[in-house]
Structure 1
């Protein structure tokens, strides 16, 4: 379903207003004061987060973020604040950045917090967006989605802000089913607060396992509701031993090390090579871009989350060599072009994320004539994988111990994370992983008319990176030959000629062979493999796209943090998905 941004409107008294729901965003008596009275004081904050390592707040409607800004400001001013504050919120109709600027300018008390939020405000595309503020100590996870997605969140909330338009105007936000879903996200000792005292809301909360009482309301509301979850809550799953061994110093392993060390973990990184990024992560350069499909498939949604989270992480790393020069995904044929058009039309994606372009427009973006129309991703581009790996390892500081140049045949440790790329075939027998040989061809930029952007069409060509255009790549299943082959170079030149005109084929070609592992569904395996053993495997040719998000998923699971994406996407990454499918097949055959 397309995301429709909120419209900037005001009631007669100047209070922000929603024409769609016929209701105000906050009390006319003042939004910040309402946030502090109803949601902070109603959940006994800030006193309840004092001295805690982590505190998790769940909010049912972000609006334009006043509750978040008030909470963040209270956290910043509290010397006894928790080590890390997680704020998770859903919003079906988020505001554009320009509208947020107008709204937040009305509340100068939040000037500093609002400026930080604006600096990392995400593109308005559906799905999960994790924003890290205050040097990562405040984590805002936004889900731009219908409230029904709340059922798929994975977290244990300490405090719940039940906010939204009035039950009469927006009943879905206050239904029994919705509040039962909220109760499943309540952690031990969870509290909730809301300005609404409607009888159906109180009944729904009590039915969901909350003890409810009335308290003095705010503004023209005489009363408000306070709630305390009294049923047995699911315990927070977290690793008490904040030490881990990571095997593999490529894109996957380096990202995991950085995410764990950022949370205060001590990590030992083990690698058979003397220096990091020597397998597929050692390629000269690679492209990063999402995919779009007319049905917004799970695969497309995961690539969107991976792409956007990767951008947010890489911007904060020093010494990464990359260029958001844009990526053109040219249509392979008329059917593919029709699918691309349908995708953009169905999803109504913002132009800053993806747009359909004609052949002429594509050629203008590329700077050279290209051979088809296609999709233009203006924020995508290329990156030097080795620079990314090194930047992530540097960010780990003294929390990382590097053990390089050593073959690892066996290891005993309470927590081991495998990030071993093409050596990952044995740990997950049900997955039917396969090894793929990929050969890249490096062409001197002077030998062709190079594009200014990355261009894809059954292959890829990158703009010049240190004088070389990367072209590729071959996809040779179950081929273990490590040496570059003339036939693979010839295949890459054919791929190049499907993208741009090549007047004269270069006579002498250089390149590189690397191996990657792919699963049957082309999705990575991220999560628990066995007791004490986790994996980040089978990234295929999309290591740049998957590595940042996969690392955050794994680190969140180990730390017990709110997960950065919804359950459907987590299930799609779960290494156990293949064993479950195998069991289902066996069960079906037994019934025959």
Structure 2
């Protein structure tokens, strides 16, 4: 084995798959995807370890598997099938898999083992485009989560956030793809093993055995599968620091907009009892009450945190909407596509250069296409000022109905018309206090998803939420009847078949006021001139008004609530910059707020992030990205700038 080649990071790109004697074959690595003795048989014998994995997940709350090398997905599909067929299965299964060269959905389905062909069809329906980052897929009403992480394993393995019960090592042969078996990589992957976790692989090379042994696994060789005489099996014997999370049995969510409704849904999928409190009569009021909103990702050349959040969140929201549609029979999402038009000609030129340079990465056509003005106009149905990014999987979502469907599907108690004035700690409980000082409800864990009211309820004046009032101008249902898909640029325009036609939206800041309804409409109608070459006269029929709450840097606030006075006392007393610590957290008090104008694209991802933080499940996003959402980030910035002490 040669482990001393250049360690340049490998970029995500589609796998090249050919057939050799009827077997899936990689011409790049000159190796087959699975043993000729049968992929499904190998998955059951080697990776499910002849029943060892099902025996270990029996009657557990959850079970987590980490895999290096997803390939055609046979190990996951065999695991999913075994889990479904096991009456003593764990309540939840988390399967995290690293892959740098993803296959296509067609290859997942056409090349799957016959024994898991039905499961392969389910997987293919959810299969994501070839984009770097995290892709979370859900099965069995959320009880099974597949987190696909597309990227270089050697880089990804240094920054995961999970602890696993089993490790599957299933790359191409070490002689063909040395990076998959590098000792540094194996050491990094081993760091996430729980005490007693197992490792399984068909590879018995000496360097692999030494690396795993050095990492703390006690190894043994067992009978192999097919023509392979032996396989490797090991148990983590090294002592592990145990991070004991208090079991969460019940949670109160304050707020039933996109943030709160999605969080309630995510928590109930984890078997947690949830109660929701909101000042509105029904879920999905205030800024989340939109009859339709645009669900689309966001392109930036530097792939900023905002861009990553909107891209990965877009897919999660889209998937959840589709799942709810199946559950409820209600139409919640229309896949119309969406055009992100360049604000200026110079921006479009910059995008052209980014595509030529594959910046920030090569964009697959089934995800996004950069179109010129003529191409974009043809797809949109109206003559546009310039071209932009067309996202074919984007569309329009019924925001308010989405919130109500989430609460209904969660079957959680909803207490409407209830105003929470404060949240106070009494003993081990957090109490919700009403307008007259009465205790509305109490629980060990409370999550504030109250948008503009979040800072006051949490007693965190430096949470960094900006309040952004705004209006959408509503037009006649006959206006822009030729518009085929929403356009977003310096403003946006959308037209739905049920009569909804909107142009927006204003940001009514005090420094640009005073704002009247007439001024708001004129501002929105002026946006049409930045989007379209020309258009027929339109008639204003009304407005939709709301107040957005946006986090600092226009990214949300997600995590444990911070006791600001305690945080300041630690930072002011320290000679060095303190490391992030739980000592200043308000134990059991959490926040999910500040989604701004991107509630549709970010709410599901943020809800899954917070649910994972609370329960200890694998995080569905890069920990570095999650760190940018930390509730104390604005307080920290103010401290460094000398504005708070």
Asked whether 1:3 is paired with 2:9, we answer no
Q: What's 1:21 paired with?
A: 29
Asked whether 1:169 is paired with 2:176, we answer yes
Task: For 1:207 and 1:583, locate their aligned partners in 2 and report how far apart those are by CA, in whole Å.
Answer: 43
Task: For 2:497 and 2:285, locate their aligned partners in 1 and report how far apart those are by CA, in whole Å.
Answer: 19
Task: For 1:418 and 1:465, locate their aligned partners in 2 and report how far apart those are by CA, in whole Å.
Answer: 36
Q: Report how far residue 519 of structure 1 moved.
A: 2.4
Contact 1:323 1:383 (8 Å CA) reproduced: yes
CA offsets 1:291-341 (integer angstroms, 9 cap, x no match): 122233332222110001111110011324332211111111121102322
Structure-2 change in CA distance of 1:576 and 1:174 (3 Å):
farther
Alignment of 1:561-572 (within 5 A): 561-572=617-628
Task: For 1:45 and 1:283, locate their aligned partners in 2 and report how far apart those are by CA, in whole Å.
Answer: 46
Contact 1:484 1:513 (8 Å CA) reproduced: no
CA offsets 1:422-465 (integer angstroms, 9 cap, x no match): 22234444443211111111111324555221012210111135
Q: What's 1:213 paired with?
A: 220
Moved more, 313-322 or 531-540: 313-322
Q: What's 1:64 paired with?
A: 72
Q: What's 2:526 paired with?
A: 494
Q: Report how far residue 512 of structure 1 moved.
A: 2.3
Structure-2 change in CA distance of 1:481 and 1:323 (3 Å):
farther
Pick one of 258, 262, 273 that aligns with 1:266: 273
Q: Report how far residue 481 of structure 1 moved.
A: 9.1
Task: For 1:482 and 1:562, locate their aligned partners in 2 and report how far apart those are by CA, in whole Å.
Answer: 48
Structure-2 change in CA distance of 1:142 and 1:271 (3 Å):
same
Asked whether 1:358 is paired with 2:358, we answer no
Pick one of 33, 53, 63 that aligns with 2:41: 33
Structure-2 change in CA distance of 1:52 and 1:524 (3 Å):
same
- TM-score, normalised on structure 1? 0.93
Contact 1:442 1:511 (8 Å CA) reproduced: yes
Q: What's 1:341 paired with?
A: 352
Pick one of 425, 433, 436 that aligns with 2:468: 436
Structure-2 change in CA distance of 1:205 and 1:305 (3 Å):
same
Structure-2 change in CA distance of 1:409 and 1:228 (3 Å):
same
Pick one of 124, 149, 162 that aligns with 2:156: 149
Alignment of 1:548-563 (within 5 A): 548-563=604-619
Structure-2 change in CA distance of 1:212 and 1:503 (3 Å):
closer
Task: For 1:128 and 1:550, locate their aligned partners in 2 and report how far apart those are by CA, in whole Å.
Answer: 13
Pick one of 113, 121, 125 that aligns with 2:119: 113
Alignment of 1:157-236 (within 5 A): 157-235=164-242
Moved more, 499-508 or 61-70: 499-508
Q: What's 1:132 paired with?
A: 138
Asked whether 1:92 is paired with 2:100, we answer yes
Task: For 1:447 and 1:314, locate their aligned partners in 2 and report how far apart those are by CA, in whole Å.
Answer: 28
Asked whether 1:332 is paired with 2:343, we answer yes
Give unpaired runs (5+ residues) of structure 2: 1-9, 424-430, 432-442, 562-585
Contact 1:320 1:388 (8 Å CA) reproduced: no
Q: Report how far residue 366 of structure 1 moved.
A: 1.2
Q: Report how far residue 99 of structure 1 moved.
A: 1.8
CA offsets 1:328-372 (integer angstroms, 9 cap, x no match): 111111211023223444122122211011111111111121111
- TM-score, normalised on structure 2? 0.86
Task: For 2:535 and 2:115, locate their aligned partners in 1 and report how far apart those are by CA, in whole Å.
Answer: 62
Task: For 1:165 and 1:569, locate their aligned partners in 2 and report how far apart those are by CA, in whole Å.
Answer: 30
Task: For 2:377 and 2:599, locate their aligned partners in 1 and report how far apart those are by CA, in whole Å.
Answer: 28
Q: Report how far residue 23 of structure 1 moved.
A: 2.0
Task: For 1:132 and 1:236, locate their aligned partners in 2 and report how far apart those are by CA, in whole Å.
Answer: 26
Q: What's 1:301 paired with?
A: 308
Task: For 2:524 and 2:293, locate their aligned partners in 1 and report how far apart those are by CA, in whole Å.
Answer: 15
Moved more, 366-375 or 504-513: 504-513
Contact 1:285 1:465 (8 Å CA) reproduced: no
Task: For 2:58 and 2:501, locate their aligned partners in 1 and report how far apart those are by CA, in whole Å.
Answer: 54
Q: Report how far residue 239 of structure 1 moved.
A: 4.4
Structure-2 change in CA distance of 1:330 and 1:237 (3 Å):
farther
Structure-2 change in CA distance of 1:484 and 1:421 (3 Å):
farther
Q: What's 2:499 paired with?
A: 467
Pick one of 546, 556, 568 that aligns with 1:524: 556
Pick one of 311, 333, 349 that aligns with 1:322: 333
Task: For 2:114 and 2:594, locate their aligned partners in 1 and report how far apart those are by CA, in whole Å.
Answer: 48
Q: How well do the aligned residues superpose, as a CA RMSD in angstroms?
A: 2.4
Structure-2 change in CA distance of 1:342 and 1:406 (3 Å):
same
CA offsets 1:483-534 (integer angstroms, 9 cap, x no match): 8521111100001121125556546542122111222311101111121111
Task: For 1:121 and 1:448, locate their aligned partners in 2 and report how far apart those are by CA, in whole Å.
Answer: 34
